[in-house]
Amino acid sequence: MLSYYKIMPIILFFCSFYGIVYSRKNLIINLIFIELGFLSINLLLILIAWIYNDIKSQIIIIYILTLTAIETAIGLALFILYYKMFKSIEVDDFYKLKF
């Protein structure tokens, strides 16, 4: 019965990996697929915490959820600034950024 639960996070992780690799046009879509990958890892850690009744895994889950929320907020703020400067969020327009 638990083997069916293990398949779901693995499928979600490979869907997110597929989305990151093959959707290279829009940065917001890439950010969504990165979040899907983090949430699939969290789902697997929730399963491990449930099976072994482990408090350490639950603490790691809360830590990862906090980090992904921070990463999303910073990423969206950077995308808003980039859009205000160049009026586009396409990956192909990054050659305009010069350091």
Category of 53 on φ-ψ map: left (φ > 0), alpha (ψ -120 to 50) or beta: left
At 74 the pLDDT is 92
Integer Cα distance of 25 and 23 in angstroms: 6
Q: Which residues contact 38 (CB under 8 A, 6 or more apart)?
A: 64, 68
Handedness of CA 81, 83, 89, 94 (dihedral sign): negative
Q: What CATH number matches the domain at 8-96, 3.40.50.1820, 3.40.50.970, 1.10.760.10, 1.10.287.3510?
A: 1.10.287.3510
Question: Which pLDDT value is given to residue 70?
Answer: 92
Judge if pTM exceeds 0.85.
no
Residues 8 and 43: beta-carbon distance below 8 Å? yes
Residuewise pLDDT in 10s, the chain (99 residues): 567 778 888 888 899 999 988 877 778 888 889 889 988 988 888 888 888 888 888 888 889 889 888 988 998 898 888 888 878 777 776 666 665
